Amino acid sequence: VLVAKQITQLPAIYALQADEFEAMGFGPKQATNLVAQLKRSCTEEVEDWRFLAAFGIEHLGRGDSRKLLKEVPLAKIIELSSDDIVKINGFGPITAEAIPTSLKSKWESIQALLKLGFNLILTDQNEQVADDSPISGKSLVFTGAMQQPRNAMKEMALSLGAKVQTTVNKKTDILVIGAKVGAKKIEKAEALGTEVMTEQDYLALIQV
């Protein structure tokens, strides 16, 4: 519905009022709920790297957004050149070349949303990522029922310099499996050359 009305930019969506949603075909209750949800999203705490990743900037998913903001505050990333980015661990020349251009195309929208007063949890630039960890720079996928909380596993992996993916692909280095994992998923990972290890083996690898 929003796309049909040519409302595709986040600032424009956040500016919509209940009567405007109703004019698009939403019921009164739906329209009221949508406005309330948009307002609530501005007040709830969210990490700055999640906020940045939501804009669909080329090569800046959650993992790379977090890496970038560990080096430079959100307000200053627009000043980064490709030469600056390629010096950051985990960013190659192609990625570093693409990010500034894509970032500039989204910067107006980012600034407009920041003015709405989002409750951002700012990344600490003094926090060090363990570049010498055994999973630093590697792409991981967690699947199955884990003994450790899944979010805690992901946060630990990110802190150790890894990237966390949602699905296995040719870029995945390690598939960490818990209980009740289908054989096809494991076979697919092995066919792609991805290392498959149990949760216990993974925790032993990172010495937890």
108 with 161, same domain? no
154 with 99, same domain? no
24 with 90, same domain? no
CATH number of the domain encompassing residue 200: 3.40.50.10190
Give domain status of residue 81, yes or no: yes
Q: Are 150 and 142 in contact (CB under 8 A)?
A: yes
Task: Report mean pLDDT in 10-residue bins for the chain, 208 residues.
Answer: 69 88 91 92 88 92 88 93 90 93 94 88 71 84 90 84 87 93 92 95 87
Number of domains in the chain: 3
For residue 129, what pLDDT is reported?
A: 56
Specify the pTM: 0.60
38 with 50, same domain? no
The count of residues in the chain is: 208
Domain interval for residue 50: 46-121
150 with 114, same domain? no
12 with 24, same domain? yes
Give domain status of residue 130, yes or no: no
Give domain status of residue 127, yes or no: no
51 with 72, same domain? yes
For residue 94, what pLDDT is reported?
A: 92
* Whole-angstrom distance, CA of residue 36 vs CA of residue 33: 5
